[in-house]
Amino acid sequence: MGQTDGELEEQFVELLDHYRGERGALVPMLQGAQAIFGYLPKEVMERVAAAAGEPLSKALGVATFYSQFRLHPHAKHTVRCCHGTACHVSGATLVSREIEKHLGIHAGENTPDMLYTVEEVHCVGACGMAPVVMVDDRAHGKLTPEKAVEVVKAFQAEVAATEAQDAGLEGDE
Amino acid sequence: MGVARAVGRPAPQKPRKSLPDVDIRICLGTGGVAAGSREVLKAFEEGLDRTGVLAVIRPREDDCADHCAAVTGTGCRGLCAMDPLVEVTTRRNGVPHTVTYGQVTPAMVDEIISKHILGGEPIEDWLVLTQDHATEYVPFYSAQEKLALRHVGVIDPEDIDDYLEADGYQGLYKVLSSMTPAEVVEQILNSGLRGRGGAGFSTGQKWRFAANAPSPDGVKYFICNGDEGDPGAFMDCSVLEGDPHAVFEGMAIGAYAIGASYGYLYVRAEYPLALRRLKIAMKDAEARGLLGDNIMGSEFSFHVKIKEGAGAFVCGEETAMMQSIEGNRGMPRLRPPYPAESGLWKRPTNINNVETLSVVPWIILHGADAFASRGYEKSRGTKVFALAGKVNRTGLAEVPMGKTLREVIFEIGGGVKNNKAFKAVQMGGPSGGCLPESLLDLPVDYETINQTGAIVGSGGMIVIDEDNCIVDTARYFLRFTQQESCGKCVPCRIGTMRMLGILDKICEGRGTPKDLDFLQDICEQVRVGSLCGLGATAPNPVLTALKYFREEFDEHVIEHRCRAGVCEALIKYSIDPETCTGCRACVRVCPVAAISGEKKQAHVIDSELCIKCGACYEKCRFAAVRRS
């Protein structure tokens, strides 16, 4: 299950110490912070900026320049619909639309239960398998809109099963 | 520099202990994994174990007591269309026999094991390649010459000994033990190698500039650009995933040539698998003294850091990349000064692309002439092309420069999918353009393709067919560059936005002939006025589309018609009363009840109600629903 705030704080301090004084470390520090907290809250940004010896405005400038960084909380799992050229000409638009319809959200939004986010991304490098959708770090290829929804449904079922199991274990304790 | 110390030739630390009876190699590239290759690999390991005849071993760790098999995950094997690809080599009385299965699923594995591996009879129906006879996929491989991809799909990218056994780090050894930096530059210059990332600038010349540039404190940097951002190109991804050591070796050779002792390998964040394998490779190479201080015992030291990109296409531009490494917003700056004079942290810096660097060790080992003997006019050697889109054999093909587009798309790629009509090939991504059928006999070399208005670029070739709309394709690329414009200079920031606005208008059926003139006009201004390559080349997809497919644009703005049926606002669905059988299948799928008609009578679509979802078009078994 999730880590406690104390554990996250510990990791964050470790991260800041690791990069303190290193030139050009602002980007990896932000990446590390996002990996710990899931997004970049204001307080985290302030502390990263201080550790990097930069003003907050610079850290914010960098964070808003790169598409990887998020300033708002992000759902637990990410469905990335590839919109590279090969995927685009092979029907990625329709695939995206069906997935959005299935989850009831638009690209860039979180589901209300904070379990899923849908993103449109540029090329994930599996053009030979277009159109491609990545669910977390796992790529699925040669999709049709129907198959894509099935992939998401299968993943949702898996997640639900794991959560139920976790809940069960906690109940046993 | 000279060679003061004795340089030790690198060799595998753990040679293979045994030659297994069966060798199974499975593609674990991003494409392969997407097709389910991890599950197939697991099925083979478990299936072989269950036989009780063949022990599954790791050839460098375990002895082969009786009969044994090895299952190895490799990088991309090229023919992504048939992924997961599984190569099976069986050895009977020491004679190897190799076949490759395509589109393998876990369910097929037990049969392959029982009939082929144990029974000795390959399952012909599932074969993509066999050494026994020709197959339909032979043309995909026979035209290729793999130099940059020489190890990709062959070795285990996570095993440094695999790389060392396949003459890995021997190029670096040759350089450190017997060549001066100037000789290395000379060698690369003579090979005619040009930057494979898109610009096509002479690699040798670039190295010479950086080698000759003075540094105030002696520090120079060598950067590998692994920010493969062109949507539709995945050759660098495949090299990074499938042969990471070759990239480090190429970097080290280049760093020695220009006198750099620090380097960065910049990888885009969207390639998690490549990143993981690079980290493993770097750690292993450092542990063996192939990177770091006094490499192979020589005077030469080279320290590399991996920099993870954070998602910005413009960072593929070299001045922007250096900004990004310095921890800033990745915005390009004016050149000169060129990076060779003043680059990263104001020191002389050289940047090369992944594919370029991966071929460097090959050139050093085989000589400049071997590379230069291949190719066409000023484009020497081989280039990897990424075939994707509506082509039968999608995948990566490395061919000598100068093959015609037709040869690459139709002979290697096997032509257009589902026997549809070829419309165009998009070359060079967002900086390139769409070329029509009439230009297919042009040779693929930098100069020839440049003259068409497209570029060779990083080597992406996306085939589009009659079902794709050329205006929509141009809009797709414009949306991409508009989103990725860093916003520093006005022509790119505002110009791409305006261009996209016009293309949106045309695709939505509100375009007029005047818009096309306006579009052309802005293209010219963005091309001339932009600060960096991203903006200057952003109009290329639009300009080539207008140049070669003007008719389709005219149809959109004059007749308000999209012949491919892609631009939804322009589509009209109707039912042909002659063909319609009145089966009511379309009535049942229409989500807005726009179709009416009695059973066994011709049906009608009410165009006022129709939301153009295309459900009836997909459903009709008699092709009575027409889309125009």
Chain A CB contacts of B328 below 8 Å: 26, 62
- The distance of B184 to chain A (nearest Cα, Å) reads 31
The domain locations on chain A are 5-65, 77-172
Which residues face B69 on adjacent strands?
A: B22, B56
Over residues B30-74, the pLDDT tens digits come to: 889 889 999 999 999 999 999 888 889 888 888 887 889 999 999
**Is B173 found in the same domain as B28?**
no
3-class DSSP assignment, residue A71: coil
Over residues B186-230, the pLDDT tens digits come to: 999 999 999 999 889 999 999 999 999 999 999 999 999 999 988
pLDDT at residue A47, rounded to an integer:
97
Which residues face B306 on adjacent strands?
A: B265
Domain that holds residue B619: 572-627
B147 occurs within a structural domain: no
Number of Cβ within 10 Å of residue B624's Cβ equals 22
Query: In the listed set B371, B402, B418, which residue is the last one of a domain according to the structure?
Result: B371
pLDDT at residue A170, rounded to an integer:
60
DSSP string, B332-371: ---SSSPTTTS-GGGS-EEEEEHHHHHHHHHHHHH-HHHH
User: Which one of B324, B395, B429 has the shortest CB-CB distance to A27?
Assistant: B324
Q: What are the DSSP E strand ranges found in B258-411? A: 262-267, 303-308, 349-353, 375-376, 379-380, 382-389, 395-400
Query: In the listed set B465, B499, B515, which residue is the last one of a domain according to the structure?
Result: B465
pLDDT at residue A1, rounded to an integer:
44
- Which is it for strands B379-380 and B303-308: parallel, antiparallel or unpaired? unpaired
pLDDT at residue B606, rounded to an integer:
92
pLDDT at residue B34, rounded to an integer:
87
pLDDT at residue A171, rounded to an integer:
54
**Is B303 found in the same domain as B420?**
no
Domain count, chain B: 5
pLDDT at residue B582, rounded to an integer:
93
**Is B349 found in the same domain as B301?**
yes
Contact A125 B35 (CB under 8 A): no
B149 occurs within a structural domain: no
B254 occurs within a structural domain: yes
Chain A CB contacts of B231 below 8 Å: 83-88, 122-123
Pick from B27, B28, B30, B482 the residue to mutate for testing the A interface (most A CBs within 10 Å): B30
Q: What is the CATH number of the domain that holds B76?
A: 3.40.30.10
User: Which one of B29, B228, B310 has the shortest CB-CB distance to A69?
Assistant: B310
B441 occurs within a structural domain: yes
**Is B362 found in the same domain as B249?**
yes
For residue B331, give the chain A residue with the closest CA.
A65
User: Which one of B270, B272, B426 has the shortest CB-CB distance to A85?
Assistant: B426
Contact B34 A139 (CB under 8 A): yes
B155 occurs within a structural domain: no
**Is B343 found in the same domain as B246?**
yes
For residue A86, give the chain B residue with the closest CA.
B389
Q: Collect all residues with Cβ–Cβ distance below 8 Å to B373 and sequence separation of at least 6.
A: none
Query: What is the C-alpha to C-alpha distance for residues A114 and A109, in angstroms, rounded to an integer?
Result: 10
Contact B327 A27 (CB under 8 A): yes
pLDDT at residue B269, rounded to an integer:
84
- The distance of A138 to chain B (nearest Cα, Å) reads 7
Chain A CB contacts of B331 below 8 Å: 65
- The distance of B229 to chain A (nearest Cα, Å) reads 7
Chain A CB contacts of B468 below 8 Å: 89
Contact B394 A128 (CB under 8 A): yes
User: Which one of B234, B331, B390 has the shortest CB-CB distance to A89?
Assistant: B390
Say what percent of chain A tops pLDDT 70: 96
Contact A122 B270 (CB under 8 A): yes
* Banded model confidence at residue A83, pLDDT cuts 50, 70, 90: very high
B132 occurs within a structural domain: yes
Contact B462 A85 (CB under 8 A): yes
Over residues B259-306, the pLDDT tens digits come to: 999 999 999 988 889 999 999 999 999 999 999 999 999 999 999 999
Contact B388 A52 (CB under 8 A): no
Chain B CB contacts of A143 below 8 Å: none
B422 occurs within a structural domain: yes
Model ipTM value: 0.87
Query: In the listed set B559, B590, B619, which residue is the last one of a domain according to the structure?
Result: B559
Query: What is the C-alpha to C-alpha distance for residues B169 and B297, in angstroms, rounded to an integer?
Result: 14
The answer to whether B98 and B154 are in contact (CB under 8 A) is no
**Which class is domain A77-172?**
alpha beta
Pick from A23, A122, A140, A144 the residue to mutate for testing the B interface (most B CBs within 10 Å): A122
Please report, in angstroms and rounded to a whole number, the separation of the first and last CA atoms in chain A.
14
Over residues A1-54, the pLDDT tens digits come to: 467 889 999 999 999 999 998 999 999 999 999 999 999 999 999 999 999 999
Residue ranges in chain B modelled with pLDDT below 50: 1-3
**Is B366 found in the same domain as B390?**
no
Query: What is the C-alpha to C-alpha distance for residues A149 and A126, in angstroms, rounded to an integer?
Result: 19
Chain A CB contacts of B270 below 8 Å: 121-125
- The distance of B617 to chain A (nearest Cα, Å) reads 15
B102 occurs within a structural domain: yes
| Inter-residue long-range contacts of B522-529, CB under 8 Å, 24+ positions, other chains counted | B522/B495, B522/B498, B523/B499, B525/B491, B525/B495, B526/B491, B526/B492, B526/B495, B526/B496, B526/B499, B528/B491, B529/B489, B529/B490, B529/B491, B529/B495
Say what percent of chain A tops pLDDT 90: 72
**Is B474 found in the same domain as B456?**
no
**Is B430 found in the same domain as B293?**
no
